[in-house]
Structure 1
Amino acid sequence: MPNSLERLQKVIAQSGVTSRRKAEKLIAEGKVKVNNKVVTELGTKVTSNDDVEVNGILLEKEVPVYYMFYKPRGVISSIKDDKGRKVVTDYLGEVEERIYPIGRLDYDTSGLLLLTNDGDFANLLMHPSHGIDKVYVAKVKGIPSKSELNTLRKGIRSDGELLKAVGYSILSVDKQKKTTIVQLTLHEGKNRHIRRMMDELGYPVSKLKRERYGMLTLDGMQPGDYRPLTPHEVKKMRHLAVNE
């Protein structure tokens, strides 16, 4: 997949050199070069392979990094929150690079989340056509039948969207408490995807966790833990995205 294109002023701002507005001014003034050529058009887009100079100084290219994080419940899948709530990067304070989540997990959902500064890798994993398995375990109120859960494969309409699960299995049933533990596999993850599906079926989710993403699992990790992906894991995830 080719490198993703980003607006030049955004790339300059993200490098920490100046604000986006000041970057736009510097571009218009002819003080920015891309691959040793002066660029003055604000609509210009660049990739991570392009050399960008601002006032004669070459922007440093960050080494790509990849992390797996066990997100606890009650944490925002973002790098900042205007309400002052905890965000995922609060737990990765020792990481020097400016990383961001690949996709998201809802505030009340725990589990496996990937973070990176590699936009191409993030876009590859999030692209709707690349059906990488995302496996969740949900505790639901009530005891759904197999025929009811089978409708998840066909898809359930919610707010004009068709929400699907590619597979499911019932892990356990508590007849006394009238609750069920269900494992669900998705290929895409729309906003509150599983919660909305199960609400439409009449079995609201009380607890939700993402346990697997592709071949990655949370084995040996506790909520709040993080670790870098190995080069082999990064290569394997790329391979899964391209070949699924």
Structure 2
Amino acid sequence: MEERLQKYLAEAGVASRRKSEELIAAGLVKVNGKIVTELGTKVDPKKDEVVYRGQVISKKEVEMVYIMLHKPEGYVTTAKEQFGRPSVMDLVRDVKERIFPVGRLDYETSGLLLLTNDGDLTYKLTHPKHDVDKTYHAKVYGTPDDMDLQMFRRGVFIDGVRTKPAKIQIIEKGERQSLAEIKIHEGKNRQVRKMCEAISHPVAQLKRVATGDLELGDLPKGKYRHLTATEVKYLKKL
């Protein structure tokens, strides 16, 4: 059965589906000896030979890997970085399969980050239409009052666009800072930080503690673990 080339590459563990589209457009993929740049190209896994950077790609040889990492602050969520800053990939170097992050956490943010070579799952978890909840614990300056919280919950304007409704509750109050639990299901760049700035309570510290019902728990910072079969099944159902 034929399938789109980018989907084939993603399921073979080459890269996420979106990244695979970039690889195709850049002319780095060959089908039956010819460079292909059209994203609509379809291939038959049983008949066609797909080559990326001189290596024949086959889905049958790839073992799917699903990892939860407790990302520390001070790491970028990319394989390579132009300024030479540490990458989350440096923390999983003993994983032999080629894996990639599911979405991103910004440089200053810690917490739950999924890594996998399952491009199809990555696509589903990061695509806006699937609305997967992401839960954060945010230390914010000051204490948002009821009006601030209602504004946040209705959605605020960041970068000229109104965010979707979100959830927020204050779980700890302090003299200078408060701890808030925030749930969003979008993935805009630095969204939680920008939303908190929009209600005049900037973030001092931010940590993602859950994706859907999958929780970070007591996994130490900088460490990772493989997901259980039950957890993988749960993610695929989202």
In the superposition, the TM-score normalised over structure 2's length comes to 0.81
Q: Distance in 2 between matches of 1:197 and 1:23?
A: 39
Identity %: 36
- What are the within-5 Å matches in structure 2 for residues 56-67 of structure 1? 59-61=57-59, 62-67=62-67
- What are the within-5 Å matches in structure 2 for residues 1-244 of structure 1? 5-6=5-6, 14=14, 31=33, 42-43=37-38, 45-46=41-42, 50-51=45-46, 52-53=48-49, 59-61=57-59, 62-175=62-175, 178-239=176-237, 241=238
Q: Distance in 2 between matches of 1:81 and 1:7?
A: 26
**Cα deviations across residues 180-228 of structure 1 (Å, max 9, x unaligned)?**
1110001112101011111111111010000011121122311111111
Partner of 1:37: none
**Cα deviations across residues 153-188 of structure 1 (Å, max 9, x unaligned)?**
21111111212452111011112xx21111000111
Question: What secondary structure sits across from 1:84 in the alignment?
Answer: coil
Q: How big is the shift at 1:101?
A: 0.6
Task: Specify every segment of 5 or more residues in structure 2 that has no aligned partner in the other structure, as ranges.
Answer: 16-22
Q: Distance in 2 between matches of 1:236 and 1:11?
A: 18
Change (3 A) 1:8 1:218: closer
Change (3 A) 1:136 1:41: closer
Q: Distance in 2 between matches of 1:100 and 1:128?
A: 19
Question: What secondary structure sits across from 1:6 in the alignment?
Answer: helix
Q: How big is the shift at 1:10?
A: 9.8
**Highest CA radius of gyration, 1 or 2?**
1
Q: How big is the shift at 1:233?
A: 0.7
**Cα deviations across residues 107-139 of structure 1 (Å, max 9, x unaligned)?**
000000011111110011111121222110000
Counterpart amino acid of 1:162?
R
Counterpart amino acid of 1:45?
T
Q: Distance in 1 between matches of 2:171 and 2:50?
A: 57
Q: Distance in 2 between matches of 1:130 and 1:22?
A: 30
Counterpart amino acid of 1:50?
P
Task: Specify every segment of 5 or more residues in structure 1 that has no aligned partner in the other structure, as ranges.
Answer: 33-39
Q: Distance in 1 between matches of 2:189 and 2:221?
A: 22
- Alignment RMSD, CA only? 3.0
Q: Distance in 1 between matches of 2:80 and 2:191?
A: 23
Question: What secondary structure sits across from 2:120 in the alignment?
Answer: helix
Conserved? CA contact 1:78–1:87, under 8 Å:
yes
What is the count of residue pairs matched by the alignment? Answer: 221
Q: How big is the shift at 1:63?
A: 1.9
Change (3 A) 1:234 1:148: same
